[in-house]
Amino acid sequence: MFEATELNLQNQRRERLFRTLFLAMTLLLILPVVVILAMLVYKGGPMISMDFLLTEPTNGMTAGGILPAFVGTIWLVVVALIASVPIGIAAALYLSEYAPDNWLTRAINLAVINLAGVPSIVHALFGVGAFVIFFRFGTSILAASLTLAVMALPVVIVSTREALQAVPQAFREACWSMGATRWQTIRKVVLPNSLSGILTGVILEVSRTAGETAPIMFTGAAFFLPFLPETVWDQTMALSLHLFVISTQVPEVPEALPYGVALVLISLVLSMNAVSIAFRVYLRGKKKW
């Protein structure tokens, strides 16, 4: 009575087929990540030591450590964050909570999306023109970080706006209808409940900023500079550029060295992500509806 028809069987076979197909694609997706990490650990792992992290490069960058580049990357990322996070969140708050739906808002939204699509080398040239030359910041951490900030802004704006939009409209209406202003509503209800989503955007920005090479190449990152930066007006080495330099510009670099630098760079990014993700999980556990 309940025997499977030919059509039933066919549907079941198809179900299995597609399930397997999609699973295979997913596995294919994480394969490069696993391979990259494994390679880096295998080839670069032996390089990692306290000495490697805490000394300057020597012998024309074919030996020694990476301290100036490591510290420089942290400087660049932190200054870029300080510049872009407040501006990005403010812009996202305006677009999400205040802006009327008119041609101007739509134009701004379009501009934000297009800004995200600008190639990083174009950002680099913009940074040279705007920050290095026009604002007379010279080639400095400030100029490089601001260039990175401009590049990262769309990421922060779009992800923050999405986090804000995820807060149900009913919460806003309830707040407004009891006489709260838009700002009071944002402060009491919208921001506290979108913080974890906003953090995601900042995580993305950190990852992107730390790894970028082109935007800092002409604006503040140095080829070789075995001193630690002291102010934002100094030039600095950076991990990403250092990796590029020792991989392509310097002769007779031992094979393990670039892998070691890459491993440090990716560990830096992953550990920053881990901290933010832990914070997000903590926040998400606290707030619910």
Partner 1 sequence: MSETAETRAEDPAGTGAGKISVRDLTIRYGDKVALSGASFDVYENEIFGIIGPAGSGKTSFLRALNRMSDMTPNMVIEGDIAIDGRPVRSWRNVYALRRRIGVVFPLPVGLPMTIYDNVALSPRLRGIKSKAKLDEIVERCLSRAALWDEVKDRLGSLGSLLSGGQQQRLTIARALSQDPEILLLDEFSIAVDPVTTMRIEDVLKELRSEMTIVLVTNLVQQARRLADRTAFFLTGELVEVADTEDLFTGNSKDPRTRDYVEGRFG
- If binding is defined by CB under 8 A, does position 180 make contact with partner 1? yes
From 171, 224, 233, 279, residue interacting with partner 1 (rule: CB under 8 A): 171
**Which residues from 234-273 bind partner 1, rule CB under 8 A?**
none
Toward partner 1, which CB reaches closer, 40 or 95?
A: 95
- If binding is defined by CB under 8 A, does position 59 make contact with partner 1? no
Toward partner 1, which CB reaches closer, 77 or 93?
A: 93
Least CB distance to partner 1 at residue 90 (A):
21
- If binding is defined by CB under 8 A, does position 170 make contact with partner 1? yes
With CA atoms as reference, report the closest residue to 160 among 196, 189, 186, 185.
196
From 193, 207, 209, 240, residue interacting with partner 1 (rule: CB under 8 A): 193
Toward partner 1, which CB reaches closer, 33 or 170?
A: 170
Name the segment binding partner 1 (CB under 8 A); options: 6-14, 56-64, 189-197, 206-214: 189-197
Name the segment binding partner 1 (CB under 8 A); options: 48-56, 182-190, 199-207, 228-236: 182-190
From 176, 249, 271, 282, residue interacting with partner 1 (rule: CB under 8 A): 176
Spell out the residues 6+ positions from residue 95 whose beta carbon is closer than 8 angstroms to its own. 105, 108, 109, 112, 157, 161
Residue 63: strand, helix, or coil: strand
Least CB distance to partner 1 at residue 98 (A):
11
Least CB distance to partner 1 at residue 228 (A):
45
Cβ-contact 192, 284 below 8 angstroms: no
Toward partner 1, which CB reaches closer, 171 or 218?
A: 171
Q: How many residues does the chain have?
A: 289
- If binding is defined by CB under 8 A, does position 230 make contact with partner 1? no
Cα separation, 209 vs 48, whole angstroms: 23
Name the segment binding partner 1 (CB under 8 A); options: 135-143, 184-192, 224-232, 243-251: 184-192
The helix-helix angle for 195-211 and 256-286 (nearest 10°) equals 170
- If binding is defined by CB under 8 A, does position 100 make contact with partner 1? yes
- If binding is defined by CB under 8 A, does position 106 make contact with partner 1? no
Cα separation, 99 vs 104, whole angstroms: 9
Residue 38 Cα to chain centre, angstroms: 22
Q: Where are the alpha helices (DSSP H) in the chain?
A: 6-39, 50-54, 67-93, 103-116, 120-127, 141-165, 169-177, 182-185, 195-211, 214-217, 239-248, 256-286
Spell out the residues 6+ positions from residue 155 whose beta carbon is closer than 8 angstroms to its own. 88, 116, 201, 204, 205, 208
Number of C-alpha atoms within 13 angstroms, CB side, residue 199?
Answer: 18
- If binding is defined by CB under 8 A, does position 181 make contact with partner 1? yes
- Residue labelled with tokens 């990175």: 148
**Which residues sit at the interface with partner 1, rule CB under 8 A?**
100-101, 170-171, 173-181, 184, 188-189, 192-193, 287-289
